[in-house]
Chain A
Amino acid sequence: MNATTFLVQCLNAVQYGLLLFLVASGLTLIFGAMNIINLAHGSFYMVGAYMAYALAPWVGLYLGGGFFTTLLVGLLLSIALGYLLEWAFFSLLYEREHLQQVLMTYGLILIFEELRSILVGDDVHGVQMPDWLAGTIPLGSLMTYPVYRLFISAVCLLVALGMYLVLSRTRLGMAVRAGSVNREMTQSLGVNIDLLYRVVFAAGVALAVLAGMIAAPVSSVYPGMGNQVLIICFVVVVIGGIGSVRGAFVAALLVGLVDTFGKVFFQEAAGVLVYLMMAAILLWKPEGLFRQG
Chain B
Amino acid sequence: MPIFARQGFAALLVVAVLAAFPLVGGKYEIDLIAKILVLAIFALSLELLVGQTGLVSFGHAAFFGLGAYTTALLLQDPDPRSFWLVLITAMLVAGLYALPVAALSLRTRGVYFIMVTLAFAQLVYYVFHDTKIAKGSDGIYLTGVPELSFAGWIPFDVTKSLPFYYVVLGLLCLVYAFLTTLGQSRFGRALAGIRLNEQRMRAAGFATYPYKIAAFVIAAMLAGLAGFLKATKDGYVNPEMLAWHESGAVLLMIILGGLGKLRGAVIGAFAFVLLQELFKSDAVFGEFAKRWQLLLGFTIIACVLLLPHGLVGLPARLRRRERENG
Contacts and interface: CB of A to CB of B under 8 A. Distances in A.
Contacts of B308: 96, 100
A271 B301 contact: no
Contacts of A118: 291, 294
A98 B111 contact: yes
Nearest to A35: B111
A103 B252 contact: yes
A94 to B, nearest CB: 13
Contacts of A227: 245
A165 interface: no
A234 B131 contact: no
B244 interface: yes
Contacts of B305: 92, 104
Contact of A271 (B130, B248, B255): B130
Nearest to A89: B301
B269 interface: no
A107 B301 contact: yes
B126 A271 contact: yes
Interface stretch (B116-124, B141-149, B172-180): B116-124
B8 interface: no
A108 B245 CA distance: 14
Given A107-B300, A235-B115, A282 B108 contact: yes
Contacts of B286: none
B298 A238 contact: no
B304 interface: yes
A8 interface: no
Interface string B287-316: 000010110111111001100100000000
Contacts of A109: 297
Contact of A275 (B120, B130, B255): B120
A283 B106 CA distance: 10
Given A271-B129, A276-B123, A104 B304 contact: yes
B107 interface: yes
Contacts of A84: none
Q: Interface residue tally of chain B, by bracket?
A: 35 or more
Given A103-B300, A118-B291, A231-B244, A272 B104 contact: no
A113 B130 CA distance: 26
A283 B304 contact: no
Contacts of A238: 111-112, 115-116
B127 interface: yes
A106 interface: yes
B112 A282 contact: yes
A194 interface: no
Given A104-B304, A109-B297, A279-B104, A272 B127 contact: yes
A99 B296 CA distance: 18
Contacts of A269: 126, 130-131
- Most interface-central of A99, A269, A283, A288 (chain B CB within 10 A): A99
Contacts of A275: 119-120, 122-123, 126
Contacts of B105: 279
A114 B126 contact: no
Contacts of A37: 111
B297 A107 contact: yes
B241 interface: no
A286 B294 CA distance: 37
B145 to A, nearest CB: 31
B294 A110 contact: yes
A119 B259 CA distance: 37
A107 B110 CA distance: 22
Contacts of A235: 115, 119
Contacts of A114: 291, 293-294, 297
Contacts of B252: 103, 106
Given A108-B297, A110-B293, A279-B104, 18 more contacts: A96-B308, A98-B111, A99-B251, A100-B304, A104-B300, A104-B301, A104-B304, A109-B297, A114-B291, A242-B111, A269-B126, A270-B126, A272-B126, A272-B127, A278-B116, A279-B116, A282-B116, A286-B109
7 contacts: A96-B308, A100-B304, A103-B256, A108-B301, A269-B130, A278-B119, A286-B107
